A and B are shown apart, each in its own frame.
Chain A
Amino acid sequence: AQSVTQPDIHITVSEGASLELRCNYSYGATPYLFWYVQSPGQGLQLLLKYFSGDTLVQGIKGFEAEFKRSQSSFNLRKPSVHWSDAAEYFCALMDSNYQLIWGAGTKLIIKP
């Protein structure tokens, strides 16, 4: 079955500390993978995407993600978080019908 799992419902990180948000997927082929961010009451913003090629993907706002086929993972990282990074983060994969399969989301809380 196709699925996306974000194991952490919420994560708390101190401002300036590094961040890693986990995303695991189940899919029969090489997936198209995405990370989105959503601030409260707002729409979605695409952070980065992976289609093929280099498994380390750079995105906006200093985020990066690494596709690891052997671990079925696509974890999102940032070396130093800012208070403005507090938001909900969603991992998703696109299936063969162009539909997105979503993770449950991870809420990022920043400690001052």
Chain B
Amino acid sequence: GAVVSQHPSRVICKSGTSVKIECRSLDFQATTMFWYRQFPKQSLMLMATSNEGSKATYEQGVEKDKFLINHASLTLSTLTVTSAHPEDSSFYICSALGLAGHEQFFGPGTRLTVL
């Protein structure tokens, strides 16, 4: 149980295009999901907390107009990187908070490369 999927696992796009990443909780409902960014050889950096039916809460320094988060259902949150540029290239990981609130369950991550 408690499986989280991400799609796509890898995406390459041209500079200026927008990319959408999906995060799904497959066997449980998640009112809260989290989006992280990970730079090479670094730890995870929390970008935003996504709550179903409400606006996401962004961490300081994260551009909300750049990284659009939508949590339209209890099993799906999406991250859209708008007008992507090479500096947005990174590994993006989502997680979903379990029903008991004790643990986050992680997706496998999405590798974004912007050319």
Contact = CB atoms under 8 A, between A and B. Distances in A.
Contact of A98 (B41, B104, B106, B111): B104
Interface string B78-93: 0000000000000001
A35 interface: no
Contacts, number: 45
Given A42-B109, A98-B32, A105 B93 contact: no
**Interface bin, chain B:** 10 to 19
6 contacts: A32-B102, A32-B103, A49-B103, A100-B46, A105-B43, A107-B41
Interface of B: 32, 34, 41-44, 46, 49, 93, 97, 101-104, 106-109, 111
B93 A94 contact: no
B37 to A, nearest CB: 12
Interface residues of A, number: 21
Given A32-B102, A100-B104, A41 B44 contact: no
Nearest to A6: B43
Nearest to B45: A102
Interface string A81-112: 00000000010001001111011110100000
A51 interface: yes
Contacts of B44: 44, 90, 100, 102
